[in-house]
Amino acid sequence: MLRRIRQTILILTVCVAFVQCGRKEDAGKEKKIAIVVSTMNNPWFVFLGQQAAKKARELGYEAKLFDSQNNTALESDHFDNIIVQHFSAILFNPTDADGSVVNVKKAVAAGIPVFCMDREVNSANAPTSQILSDSYSGAVALGKRFVQELHKKGNYVELLGLVGDNNTWARSNGFHSVVDHYPELKMVAQQSADFDRNQAMKVLESVLQAHPDIDGVFCGNDAMAMGAYQALVSAGMADKVKVFGFDGSDDVIAAIRDGKIYATGMQFPQIIAETAASFADEYLKGKKDGFPKKVPVAVELVTKENVSDYAGYGKK
């Protein structure tokens, strides 16, 4: 009889331990959010990722950052690890609008919702929602300022971002929707510098050898604007050529204040990141439908006239 009682107690103990273990696993699944960022080699994306992680933690989740280093294959490895490690949601800044779709789909197939930040993927249904800057409208405003600063004439260079990113073309198309109406504004070179500061410096140094007589440079992001400015300083042309960026990063806001850069488009990465984290929280708490497929976040023009209203990555 005593032996039977001991066996019963042992079985009950194992069952209780199993249930508690299961509850801990379930709780763990509910508490982990992955933040996958295209590159941590750019302060703007570092800020975006950190803000997403901060908001996720405020909402009660564990948060882990993954750096894809602008490499779709590495991004794919991150998604595989996230699935194996049973993360509950992904806040995603893609490396490639087309190439990243497969990663989103495999996460969704594994039951993990994906919320895109800043950059979109070319799939209407795979992500639960995409929170994106209105890059086209922001570039239209920059184009108007560009025309004004160059007095509707002169030679200029355009530095493009990653050719596989929709933001690259939204910004370029928005800019050209204005500038192309002025025949005396001539684009002498258009090249990609992958949104990278060092590449932008090298590309512009090369362009200047063939086209030393330029008046302006339009850059698809602020990192490239700073790289272009460095190239112009090295060539002794920084006072002559007007540089325009896009992002609203810390160093470019300071450069506008100092008269080195002429304008940028202020994005609001904190709003983008916090919206994505809040959507993920709502999803994990039971709201499975009704999220907007795309959430546009307005971009504001920052110039020497209003730069005192802004700090890096947002308004003061």
pLDDT tens figures, 8-51 = 444 334 333 433 444 444 444 458 999 999 999 999 999 999 99
Q: Is the pLDDT of residue 69 over 90?
A: yes
pLDDT of residue 31: 84
pLDDT of residue 30: 55
Written as one letter, the residue type at 180 is D
State the sign of the Cα–Cα–Cα–Cα dihedral 98, 169, 263, 199. Answer: positive
Task: Give the model's pLDDT for residue 13.
Answer: 42
DSSP sequence for the chain: -HHHHHHHHHHHHHHHHHHHHHHHHHHHHHTEEEEEES-SSSHHHHHHHHHHHHHHHHTT-EEEEEE-TT-HHHHHHHHHHHHHTT-SEEEE--S-TTTTHHHHHHHHHTT--EEEESS--S-SSSSSEEEEE-HHHHHHHHHHHHHHHTTT-EEEEEEE--TT-HHHHHHHHHHHHHHTT-TTEEEEEEEE-TT-HHHHHHHHHHHHHH-----EEEESSHHHHHHHHHHHHHTT-TTTSEEE-SB--HHHHHHHHTTSS-EEEE--HHHHHHHHHHHHHHHHTT--S---SEEEE--EEEETTTGGGEETTEE-
pLDDT in tens, 84-118: 999 999 999 999 999 999 999 999 999 999 999 99
pLDDT of residue 14: 36
Widest Cα–Cα separation across the chain: 102
Q: How confident is the model at residue 258 (pLDDT cuts 50, 70, 90)?
A: very high
CB 276 within 8 A of CB 131: yes
Across the range 49-62, mean pLDDT stands at 98
Residue 147: closest CA among 182, 174, 117: 182
- Average pLDDT over every residue of 146-164: 97
Residue 265: what pLDDT?
Answer: 98
* Banded pLDDT at 163 (limits 50, 70, 90): very high
